[in-house]
Structure 1
Amino acid sequence: MHYTIIDIETTGGQNITEIAMCRHDGTKIIDSYSTLVNPQAYIPDYITALTGIDNAMVAEAPTFSEIAETILNFTQDSIFVAHNVNFDYNIIRNEFKTLGIDFNRKKLCTIRLSRKLLPGHASYSLGKLCRALNIDIQNRHRAKGDTDATVILFEMLLAQDGSKNVFQDFLRKTSKEATLPPHLPSQVFNRIPNAPGIYYFKNKKGKIIYVGKAKDLKKRVLGHFYNKSQKELDLCRDTADIDFELSGSETIALLMEDAAIKHHFPAYNQAAKRPPKSYAVFSYQDRQGILHLAYNTLKSAPNPIQIFHGIRECRSYLETLCLTYELCPKYCHLQEGVSECSHYAIHTCHGICRQEETVAKYNQRVTEAIEQIQNTTKDIVIKQTGRHPEEESFILIQNGSYRGYGFVDKSEQIMHSSDLETFLIPQKDTIDIQRVLRPLILKATNSN
């Protein structure tokens, strides 16, 4: 069995500035190759400070397309080996992809192999691990120097008791070892269940860097490791631990996720995005005594009777009310600046805008619509699946506001919503939460 031990340097992105490869037959090096690479992109100063490679050094170097055939031939019929293999492998594979070539090799990660065969080290970064093992690295953060050190580490791994079985296990198609983040112990991943809940990616310091939710936790977490986008690669590289909480249902997982993101503000969640502008439906009476249903931004809506996270959802809700209660699109402000309504989809107006219906009859239907909106703000308990067969979960709405969720053993005697207070996990009501819960609230209201 042959191995190709590889290290690359980059511009800090997807462009390679240097590559070094050693072909190994399991006993010794049988061939080697290294070269600077013209990345056809600017090398930032901080990368030059780290690697010593600057723009002048690579100006006359070959481009990746000029060395692509060499890399293909060199790695042919061998196993791709690197320290944090997914980083090097994916960047090289993406470079080939731009050339229309599908680069596909079996791979081994010396970080993950070291964790298995050389347990107990405080850090498995190449520099610190080599220092602990007395492996001298010449020209750190240069492809040739790092590859030479990785070769010595690789040979040390090959010499460990049980290495043959470990290598075989890691190379099996069903093995997740080559897929998992380099700093994540496999036992951490293995304990994640196939159940609904939320998960926390943590870095080496134990800080939460990403929060997600899933109907199937294990499947969703694994999906991050297969995703080859730059954001996911960066996330996986920084992940050293994963924690999780079961939710029982996907809806409660959504609520838990929203609360966790707003509490922890993880670096890899888009929590810093500008929050969506809120809109509200309100009513007022004009000089003719006609009741209007209108909408505006939440800040500009007097006595809002329903709040939405976006204008499209707000207008869509008004259109539904207009159709259901046969209201006038003009007086629901779905059409502005017209003397008579002529909506493209709503033709149920009885003629209030043409003086063909009395104000009293029209206002009665508007009042019914407002009462329907207000009915959705009563106390509601939404039942959900529990985290295990002997348990149920619930979502509590009181006076139209989200109070939180909780879990109750099926043996408990619950006679009234007030009995749930003991089991309630209080949460904040937000526009995002209202968007999640609105369909469930409407369903619960209509069923009653």
Structure 2
Amino acid sequence: MMYTVIDIETTGQGNKITEIAIFKFDGEKVIDEFTSLVNPETYIPEYITALTGIDNSMVAEAPTFREIASSILEITKDCVFVAHNVNFDYNIIRNEFKAIGLEFTRKKLCTIRLSRKLIPGHRSYSLGKLCAALNIPIEGRHRARGDAQATVTLFQRIIDTDNSEKVFAEFLRRTSKEATLPPHLPSDIFNGIPNAPGVYYFKNKKGKIIYIGKAKDLKKRVLGHFYDKTDKELNLCRETADIDYELSGSELIALLMEDAGIKQHYPEYNVASKRNPRAYGIFTYQDRMGINHLAYNILKNAPSPFITFFNITDCRTYLEKICVQFELCPKYCHLQEGVQQCSHYKIHTCRGVCINKESVKNYNLRVEQAISFTSEISSNKIIKKPGRHPDEEGFVLVKNGIYLGFGFVENTEQIINTEDLEHFLIRQKDNVDIQRILKRQLITS
């Protein structure tokens, strides 16, 4: 089998290549080499120059990636792509090819993951620290050729270990996820994640939570992070060394758990909104004919709203829902504007108040019923959801319009009233994001 051991240096932000080194290796010796500075056609930040020594003047006359693309394709043809943290180098190179309209696909091996499997017991598997522990010299650290040359020596050590042939075959299987998993994440951690609803916590090597997410299928969603090739996801995966999870039984409770976790831990890869979401309110008013209207507007322009939402779509969807449920008129619910009589494309339950077929008194009575119904379900609500296993049930509790938290109850428990439920309640804090989640539940239930 033939390998190409590769290392690149980049601009950091934007990840444009500034230097590349490729050693063609037959498992015993290097048989070819390609090394070049690369003009990234963008500015190299000072902190990158401080790390690598590569500055803008050094690459000014260097070839662009387009100019060396054919050389890279030729030397890597029919070879396994090998690198320390292979997904980082591979995806950046593949993106460079994509930018010039070319495909780049190679089998991959990661020397971090191989080292963890075949040379276990080291405190750190970063290239510098692992090479120091194994007495592998690095001439020119943080330069592509020096790091690639050290990786060749490390790769040779890996090949020479017992059982390497079997491990290589396992890692190179098409169905293997070894080349996809983050370099510092043990495969047994990922394999232990279930296909069930819940929240997951990405942790770095120090055990600090760096990202929290929720999912209907934990394993599938976590794997999705590893296939995502955006800069943010590549950086997240590069730092991930452990993953914890909690089962929720349902997507709704997972959403609530995720919000609580983010507000408790403030993970660096969870991007918090820099502004509060715009709120919309549904309110009522009476026109000159005495007909009670239901209308909506941004919250500051909605007089005495009886329910609020945090996006316009949810607001209109809920208005459509109660319009149908209480046989109200789309015209007087402001789902149609500038019409003499209603002719909504999907709501056909109006009893004719807009064409004088129904009395205003009867119509207004149903409007009042709709308002009372909304106020009641918004103020006190027990939302029942599946539990984390077949013998329990999940629930969310809202009392006097305030979210109190969620909980889980074994099916053998006798629950007669809300007070009984509160013994199983995991209390949480209410906030605007929680209200947005619960309002969306309101319109879909």
SS across alignment from 2:378: coil
Cα RMSD after superposing both structures: 2.6
SS across alignment from 1:244: strand
Do the aligned partners of 1:280 and 1:295 also contact (CA within 8 Å) in 2?
A: yes
SS across alignment from 1:131: helix
Deviation at 1:369, TM superposition (A): 2.1
Name the residue aligned to 1:392. Answer: 393
Answer with 295-304 or 34-43: which moved more.
295-304
Name the residue aligned to 1:74. Answer: 75
Name the residue aligned to 2:409. Answer: 408
Instruction: Tell me, in whole angstroms, the C-alpha distance in 2 between the residues paired with 1:404 and 1:327.
Output: 34
Q: Given the alignment of the two structures, is residue 311 of structure 1 paired with residue 312 of structure 2, yes or no?
A: yes
Name the residue aligned to 1:10. Answer: 10
Name the residue aligned to 1:142. Answer: 143
SS across alignment from 2:406: strand
Do the aligned partners of 1:329 and 1:349 also contact (CA within 8 Å) in 2?
A: no
The superposition leaves residues 331-368 of structure 1 with CA deviations (integer Å, 9 ceiling, x where unpaired) of 545577x7x7566627848457x999765444323212
SS across alignment from 2:175: coil
Deviation at 1:142, TM superposition (A): 0.7
Instruction: Tell me, in whole angstroms, the C-alpha distance in 2 between the residues paired with 1:137 and 1:370.
Output: 73
Answer with 136-145 or 327-336: which moved more.
327-336
Do the aligned partners of 2:353 and 2:360 also contact (CA within 8 Å) in 1?
A: no
Measured at CA, do residues 366 and 194 of structure 1 come closer, stay the same or move farther in structure 2, by a change above 3 Å? closer
Do the aligned partners of 1:328 and 1:341 also contact (CA within 8 Å) in 2?
A: no
Deviation at 1:130, TM superposition (A): 1.6
Instruction: Tell me, in whole angstroms, the C-alpha distance in 2 between the residues paired with 1:219 and 1:321.
Output: 36
Instruction: Tell me, in whole angstroms, the C-alpha distance in 1 between the residues paired with 2:444 and 2:225.
Output: 34
Do the aligned partners of 1:202 and 1:209 also contact (CA within 8 Å) in 2?
A: yes
Instruction: Tell me, in whole angstroms, the C-alpha distance in 2 between the residues paired with 1:332 and 1:195.
Output: 40
Instruction: Tell me, in whole angstroms, the C-alpha distance in 1 between the residues paired with 2:285 and 2:433.
Output: 27
The superposition leaves residues 13-53 of structure 1 with CA deviations (integer Å, 9 ceiling, x where unpaired) of 23211111111111111121211112122222221221111
Name the residue aligned to 1:126. Answer: 127
Measured at CA, do residues 360 and 238 of structure 1 come closer, stay the same or move farther in structure 2, by a change above 3 Å? same
* Structure 2 unaligned spans of 5+: none
Identity of aligned residues (%): 65
Do the aligned partners of 1:248 and 1:385 also contact (CA within 8 Å) in 2?
A: yes
Instruction: Tell me, in whole angstroms, the C-alpha distance in 2 between the residues paired with 1:391 and 1:365.
Output: 38
Answer with 386-395 or 19-28: which moved more.
386-395
For 1:185-204, list aligned pairs within 5 A: 185-204=186-205
Deviation at 1:222, TM superposition (A): 1.0
For 1:61-210, list aligned pairs within 5 A: 61-210=62-211
Do the aligned partners of 1:278 and 1:431 also contact (CA within 8 Å) in 2?
A: no
The residue type equivalent to 1:239 in the other structure is T
Instruction: Tell me, in whole angstroms, the C-alpha distance in 2 between the residues paired with 1:125 and 1:139.
Output: 16
The residue type equivalent to 1:405 in the other structure is F
Instruction: Tell me, in whole angstroms, the C-alpha distance in 2 between the residues paired with 1:47 and 1:349.
Output: 70
SS across alignment from 1:376: helix
Instruction: Tell me, in whole angstroms, the C-alpha distance in 2 between the residues paired with 1:283 and 1:400.
Output: 20
Do the aligned partners of 1:335 and 1:341 also contact (CA within 8 Å) in 2?
A: no
The residue type equivalent to 2:268 in the other structure is A
Do the aligned partners of 1:80 and 1:106 also contact (CA within 8 Å) in 2?
A: yes
**Count of residues in correspondence between the two structures:** 441
TM-score between the two structures when normalised by the length of structure 2: 0.90
* Structure 1 unaligned spans of 5+: none
Do the aligned partners of 2:314 and 2:440 also contact (CA within 8 Å) in 1?
A: no
Measured at CA, do residues 330 and 218 of structure 1 come closer, stay the same or move farther in structure 2, by a change above 3 Å? closer
The superposition leaves residues 246-290 of structure 1 with CA deviations (integer Å, 9 ceiling, x where unpaired) of 111222212212222232222222323423111222234568765
Deviation at 1:295, TM superposition (A): 3.0
Do the aligned partners of 1:130 and 1:136 also contact (CA within 8 Å) in 2?
A: yes
Name the residue aligned to 1:297. Answer: 298
Instruction: Tell me, in whole angstroms, the C-alpha distance in 2 between the residues paired with 1:249 and 1:318.
Output: 26
For 1:210-359, list aligned pairs within 5 A: 210-284=211-285, 291-299=292-300, 301-322=302-323, 324-325=325-326, 327=328, 332=333, 341=340, 345=344, 348=350, 350=352
